[in-house]
Chain A
């Protein structure tokens, strides 16, 4: 994990002091609502339907057990004993008091955490694949590069008041679990024929009301130029992005309006001036950042036969091994996913006790670190194969051993109308009604790999456009309805879902999803997963089934 030095600490302290002063001026009436708005947003603070919401950054998803314990104690002391993992590797508190937020931020700073730029029209938390550093076949560990980008984007003086929010994802794994192509900037780490590191640069991806897949503007950007090139993109966007209409202000609209070629030309023209200038990355700096992300002290170990024996006797453990455990680059180790999708609990919600439990588990079994995922789950990246049963049994006691990672009940879901003031419709109850419908684990297993994403409004925090099944809450004359899309995916073959047809009432949603799944089960061939069958047979069979008149 990256460890702050005196500079990092000082700047974080400076920020807390600045925000404490801003909050005091606001409460004294010296700052208007309009003036305070972007200031509090750039410190993660929203005013929600019922109370303020504070979004805390988990930079590129990495957390130490110490940090996780602090998040737990904050949930207890400043909130109602729980928090929510978002779809952007952040964590959200739903009930803090405005006047206590500066104190809360000071507590976070004690463990080198913050809420800086988690909201507002600025560069947000940089995200990556949760398996970075441990994935099999990884091209390059993305974490040091994310840290370099984190520092560059933090308090960037020129780009703190952009036309709109700005999200960057970096991916160095073969599978891409970072939804890289639907970010304002998506960076795929590559190696050229000489083994040198560089980046394929995509721009203009994004979800929201105009979903777009990013387009390539640079095939191979040598690593030295990463920051100067990012500066050039940002400057072009800051100057030319639309500011007259908030719904047309994202970079994707600018890239579409200019065309990718013309956009690229503008970036290159800007870049020529800074290329090889002082912001050019040095080998020394990259080495420094990489030094924080070296392998832990793995033991020379191989897989244990005890685990096989335990799995033979314990069917649920066997399922868990199959679904929640992934292979690891190191012999004798595995990646363990803790799925936070227990039916009856809002997807991504964790209690203070569960956070402390996961922190203990990380200390005991995974070198004291955890990752959070944009699918709203938690990962222990370095668990010894021989410890898997012990980890499973411990998780089971805390209701954290649901063995359905990547199955239909592993639903990605925004907080929706229950909390969010932007939402048109509730999303959590939809998730729960679908989870109840597919409660039978054998059925879930039979359906196999599938992603189901729910957003309570077109801002698309639940990433519904890139779910195999996407559900979008819409408001029709004060009533909540749900539109369904099919065929989305967020991996290296990113695709946007297609709208199935007219929206449905809330109570119909479990039936609708079940019918869609039935069409898949009846049509699948040779071990095809849901997406493969959809791609082969198209949307019509699903449409016919779902909209068939009952007679």
Chain B
């Protein structure tokens, strides 16, 4: 089971992530009751997925447009943003858009190449859960969530920039 950190603590994930290569029919092969499906699958099979007994979350790859979820965010218990490689920074913007623009308040998870050296920035962009790769150290990651004491900018976490607070 992948290591999950949520709201600053190590926890278990009961969600099954469906890979982007999986064909729709195979997505239900596992006995998981919570499925995290790729955005394309969600787009194609939205009606069926919504009608199923399973709990459904959606993960966005870095080129997927979060705005296309604008009418769904109220109903999704989990949205994930994928880092195909840690230096691809698009997921930071996707996360910020989901929170600031679309007002998403549910769990927002980082998946993929999730490196502890980016933990603080991810948190600032509104990501509150982190699925670590096998090589990731959960304690290192939790520590890294507070690498910095503050930020200069207006962030999802603290909308008032430092200059309004100092």
Q: Given A238-B93, A243-B88, list of 8 further CB < 8 A pairs?
A: A7-B166, A18-B117, A155-B121, A158-B89, A160-B89, A243-B90, A277-B154, A279-B161
In the complex, what distance in Å separates the CA atom of A239 from the CA atom of B161? 23
Contacts of B86 in A (CB 8 A): 35, 161
Contacts of B142 in A (CB 8 A): none
**Candidates B90, B155, B159, B163; contact of A238 at CB < 8 Å:** B90
Binding stretch for chain B, among A9-17, A48-56, A211-219 = A9-17
B117–A157 contact, CB under 8 A? Answer: no
Which positions 97-122 of chain B face chain A at CB distance < 8 Å?
A: 100-101, 115, 117-118, 120-122
Q: Is B92 an interface residue (CB 8 A)?
A: yes
Chain B residues at the A interface, C-beta cutoff of 8 Å: 86-90, 92-94, 96, 100-101, 115, 117-118, 120-122, 124-125, 144, 147-155, 159-164, 166
**Candidates A11, A279, A284; contact of B150 at CB < 8 Å:** A11
**Candidates A39, A227, A238; contact of B92 at CB < 8 Å:** A238
B144 vs chain A, min Cβ distance (A): 8
5 closest A-B pairs (Cβ-Cβ)? A161-B89, A157-B124, A157-B121, A279-B154, A285-B163
Contacts of A7 in B (CB 8 A): 150, 162, 166
Chain A residues at the B interface, C-beta cutoff of 8 Å: 5, 7, 10-11, 14-15, 17-18, 22, 35, 38-39, 121, 151-152, 154-162, 227, 235, 238-239, 243, 273, 277-279, 281-282, 284-285, 288
A22–B96 contact, CB under 8 A? Answer: no
**Candidates B101, B125, B147; contact of A158 at CB < 8 Å:** B125
A161–B88 contact, CB under 8 A? Answer: yes
Contacts of A288 in B (CB 8 A): 163
A10–B154 contact, CB under 8 A? Answer: no
Contacts of B121 in A (CB 8 A): 155, 157-158, 160
18 interchain pairs, CB-CB under 8 A: A7-B166, A11-B149, A11-B151, A14-B148, A18-B148, A151-B152, A151-B163, A155-B148, A157-B124, A157-B125, A158-B96, A158-B121, A235-B96, A238-B93, A239-B90, A243-B88, A278-B159, A279-B153
B120–A278 contact, CB under 8 A? Answer: no
In the complex, what distance in Å separates the CA atom of A285 from the CA atom of B164? 8
Known: A273-B101, A279-B154. A14 touches B89 (CB 8 A): no
What residue in chain B is nearest A286 (Cβ atoms)? Answer: B163
Known: A14-B147, A273-B100. A38 touches B155 (CB 8 A): no
A157–B149 contact, CB under 8 A? Answer: no
A35–B115 contact, CB under 8 A? Answer: yes
B161 vs chain A, min Cβ distance (A): 5
B89–A159 contact, CB under 8 A? Answer: yes
What residue in chain A is nearest B152 (Cβ atoms)? Answer: A151
B26 vs chain A, min Cβ distance (A): 29
Known: A7-B150, A273-B100. A158 touches B163 (CB 8 A): no
Contacts of B89 in A (CB 8 A): 121, 158-162, 238
A157–B152 contact, CB under 8 A? Answer: no
Known: A35-B115, A38-B87, A157-B155. A278 touches B96 (CB 8 A): no
Contacts of B125 in A (CB 8 A): 157-158
Contacts of A35 in B (CB 8 A): 86, 115, 117
In the complex, what distance in Å separates the CA atom of A238 from the CA atom of B63? 11
A21 vs chain B, min Cβ distance (A): 9
A291 vs chain B, min Cβ distance (A): 13
What residue in chain A is nearest B95 (Cβ atoms)? Answer: A158
Known: A39-B117, A282-B163. A11 touches B148 (CB 8 A): yes
Known: A158-B93, A158-B96. A278 touches B148 (CB 8 A): no
Task: Among A5, A15, A158, find the residue whose CB has the most chain B CB atoms closer than 10 A.
Answer: A158
In the complex, what distance in Å separates the CA atom of A121 from the CA atom of B90? 13
**Candidates B93, B147, B151, B153; contact of A239 at CB < 8 Å:** B93
Contacts of A159 in B (CB 8 A): 89, 92
What residue in chain A is nearest B160 (Cβ atoms)? Answer: A278
Contacts of A22 in B (CB 8 A): 117
Task: Among B144, B149, B153, B164, find the residue whose CB has the most chain A CB atoms closer than 10 A.
Answer: B153
A155–B149 contact, CB under 8 A? Answer: no
Task: Among A151, A161, A227, find the residue whose CB has the most chain B CB atoms closer than 10 A.
Answer: A161
What residue in chain A is nearest B89 (Cβ atoms)? Answer: A161
B148–A15 contact, CB under 8 A? Answer: yes
What residue in chain A is nearest B96 (Cβ atoms)? Answer: A158
